[in-house]
Amino acid sequence: MMINYDAIFFSQGCVDQLYFKAMMRQRNKMGNTVWAPAIVCMGVLLYALSSPSNYSQTGFLFFYPLYSDYTIQCLYTSGTWLWVFFVSWMMHAIANKKFNDTAYKLLSGSSLYAYLSHYFFIIVIAVMIVRPYKISFLPALGLEIGLTNLTILVSYVIMDYLYGLVVPPKVKKDDGVMLGMGEGQMEEE
């Protein structure tokens, strides 16, 4: 089931780009109407409805999705997609430009690695720190989020460094060949 979820997630990103300009026109048209505040309020209410925060009918740690009741599964999944939709459009509106070369390379490079490895680090931190010390929910949540993100970034930087040692970056050579001229046709200065 998780492979199907990932396939849909990645293909949605590809398909989404096919009609991106039409979506932007529609979004801008809707954003300039009097209905824009109502649409935002409706989105927040839909997100609140689809964010289950119950502690009953939950599955085991390695159970996906994390709720055993079908209704809650549907609400949880739709809430997740609503959140992804909101964050995607918000980031397109405010963060769709390179603001710092180093930060851009680190964040864009580590994003897929974080997506693939975050659950492993969550489990390791939960098993090695949270459970043995019986840390309560709110401190454990902060600890999990902070340490998971820190572990992902540090391990990515280490792996990127090691990868750079094994596979050095390509160096662009300026071999004196001008565009539009062959090697034998260089002009003498």
Mean pLDDT within 56-78: 69
Quote the pTM value.
0.53
pLDDT at 61: 58
Q: Alpha-carbon torsion 145, 126, 111, 10, what sign?
A: negative
CA distance linking residue 108 with residue 71, whole number of Å: 35
pLDDT at 98: 77
Of the pLDDT bands very low, low, confident and very high (cuts 50, 70, 90), residue 157 is very high
Asked if residue 126 has pLDDT above 60, the reply is yes
- CB hemisphere CA count around 187 (13 angstroms): 5
Exposed, middle or buried by CB within 10 Å (0-12, 13-18, 19+), for 57?
A: middle
Q: Left, alpha or beta for 44 (phi > 0: left; psi -120 to 50: alpha)?
A: alpha
CA distance linking residue 125 with residue 147, whole number of Å: 8
pLDDT at 111: 86
Cβ(135)–Cβ(129) under 8 Å? yes
Among 25-29, 45-49, 120-124, where is mean pLDDT lowest? Answer: 45-49
Of 146, 153, 106, 111, residue with least CA distance to 125:
146
